[in-house]
């Protein structure tokens, strides 16, 4: 039996598989992936040396745990296929004997559990795009049948590509989606805005972006390592009467913090809407 099977071999699945193998969490021989896209299968087989197939049921029957890495609009068909094939036979143990981990955005634990027969062990995860460069942040919630050991297993998977935390309340995933799930786009926009503004002040575009990115990275590293609060760090940089203070006053006048709060609120509410629609 494989330790983990991927249904869906897209970019996130590839990042997870690569991290698991490179961090020696699993061997390539302990993984299997299915996908309808031949190019994605070739990537897994050629670059990662992982067994591939077009058959989702082969992944199900040959894996102790299955990770759904398909789009939300595709997952219903996958769930129906697995449920129809389930006979609870001793040979495979049926769906109730498996752990299912889902990264399909907006697809609730209840929906997953119901589709898989009500007894399946399910964990829902919200990862984010930086997992593709080993700097991801994921949050997960286990369903009513999943165990603490299942949670630990899932945390190991996502910590192979960054950091991961376990939450008690599934409703918190809407805020997680708004913060870390959508968050990389906010940072990209901020970096672009910094660079564009510097270009308007006379810097060459390439240099402006280089400096913006290094400034963001350096500030993140300093904030993460420092015992001081964000407010204390701001005060260190913002000397009275200086350039930083002038900039911060303008950000305050333009309600920068309120703009960020409204953006997070909009993303969280959209996440809730998608959950209700599904």
For the chain, the structural domain boundaries read 4-168, 183-275
CB-CB neighbours of 227 under 10 Å: 5
pLDDT at residue 90, rounded to an integer: 44
Mean pLDDT of 141-158: 97
CATH 3.40.50.300 fits 4-168, yes or no: no
Mean pLDDT, all residues of the chain: 94
33 vs 113: CA distance, rounded Å? 22
Q: If we measure between CA atoms, which residue out of 23, 12, 110, 21 comes closest to residue 68?
A: 12
Q: Phi and psi at residue 31, in whole multiples of 5°?
A: -120, 155
pLDDT at residue 274, rounded to an integer: 83
Mean pLDDT of 135-143: 97
135 vs 138: CA distance, rounded Å? 10
CATH T-level topology, domain 183-275 = ProC C-terminal domain-like fold (1.10.3730)
pLDDT band of residue 96 (cuts 50, 70, 90) is: confident
| Whether the predicted pLDDT of 93 surpasses 60 | no
pLDDT at residue 97, rounded to an integer: 86
- Say which residue, 72 or 186, is predicted with more confidence: 186
162-166/51-53 β-pairing:
unpaired
pLDDT-above-90 percentage for the chain: 89
220 vs 204: CA distance, rounded Å? 24
pLDDT at residue 278, rounded to an integer: 59
| Whether the predicted pLDDT of 150 surpasses 80 | yes
Task: Give the range among 93-97, 159-163, 209-213 with minimum mean pLDDT.
Answer: 93-97
- Output the DSSP codes for the chain: -BSEEEE--SHHHHHHHHHHHHTTSS-GGGEEEE-S-HHHHHHHHHHS--EEES-HHHHHHHBSEEEE-S-HHHHHHHHHHHHHH----TTT--GGGSEEEE--TT--HHHHHHHTTS--EEEEEE--GGGGGT-EEEEEEE-SS--HHHHHHHHHHHHTTEEEEE-S-TTHHHHHIIIIITHHHHHHHHHHHHHHHHHHTT--HHHHHHHHHHHHHHHHHHHHH-SS-HHHHHHHH--TTSHHHHHHHHHHHTTHHHHHHHHHHHHHHHHHHHHHH-
Bin 187: left if φ > 0, else alpha if -120 < ψ < 50, else beta.
alpha
| Whether the predicted pLDDT of 88 surpasses 60 | no
| Whether the predicted pLDDT of 91 surpasses 50 | no
- Dihedral of CA atoms 199, 201, 203, 205 in degrees, nearest 10, equals 0
| Whether the predicted pLDDT of 92 surpasses 60 | no
**Which residue shows structure tokens 């299968």?**
41
pTM: 0.90
Q: What is the pLDDT of residues 99-135, one digit of tens each?
A: 999 999 889 999 999 999 888 999 999 999 999 999 9
Q: What is the pLDDT of residues 58-86, one digit of tens each?
A: 999 999 999 999 999 999 999 999 998 87
In angstroms, how far apart are the furthest CA atoms of the chain? 75
Q: What is the pLDDT of residues 214-236, one digit of tens each?
A: 999 999 999 999 999 999 999 99
Per the structure block, which two tokens stand in for 1?
Answer: 């039996």
């Amino acid at each position: 039996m494989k330790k983990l099977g991927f249904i869906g071999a897209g970019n996130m699945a590839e990042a997870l598989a690569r991290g698991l193998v490179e961090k020696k969490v699993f061997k390539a021989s302990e993984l299997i992936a299915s996908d309808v896209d031949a190019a994605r299968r070739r990537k897994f087989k050629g670059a990662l040396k992982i067994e591939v197939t077009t058959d989702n049921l082969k992944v199900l029957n040959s894996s102790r745990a299955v990770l759904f890495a398909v789009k939300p609009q595709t997952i219903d068909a996958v769930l129906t296929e697995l449920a129809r094939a389930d006979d609870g036979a001793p040979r495979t143990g049926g769906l109730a004997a498996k752990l299912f981990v889902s990264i399909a955005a907006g697809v609730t634990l209840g929906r997953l559990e119901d589709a898989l027969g009500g007894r399946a062990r399910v964990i829902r995860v919200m990862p984010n795009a930086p997992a593709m460069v080993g700097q991801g942040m994921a949050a997960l919630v286990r369903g009513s049948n999943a165990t603490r050991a299942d949670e630990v297993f899932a945390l190991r998977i996502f910590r192979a590509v960054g950091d991961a935390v376990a939450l008690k309340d599934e409703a918190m995933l809407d805020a997680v989606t708004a913060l870390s799930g959508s968050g990389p786009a906010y940072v990209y926009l901020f970096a672009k805005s910094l660079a564009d503004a510097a270009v308007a002040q006379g810097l060459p575009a390439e240099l402006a972006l280089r400096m913006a990115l290094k400034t963001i990275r350096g500030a993140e590293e300093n904030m993460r390592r420092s015992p001081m609060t964000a407010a204390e760090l701001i005060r260190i940089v913002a000397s009275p009467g200086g350039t930083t203070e002038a900039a911060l006053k303008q950000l305050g006048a333009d309600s920068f913090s309120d703009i960020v709060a409204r953006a997070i609120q909009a993303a969280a509410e959209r996440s809730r809407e998608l959950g209700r629609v599904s």
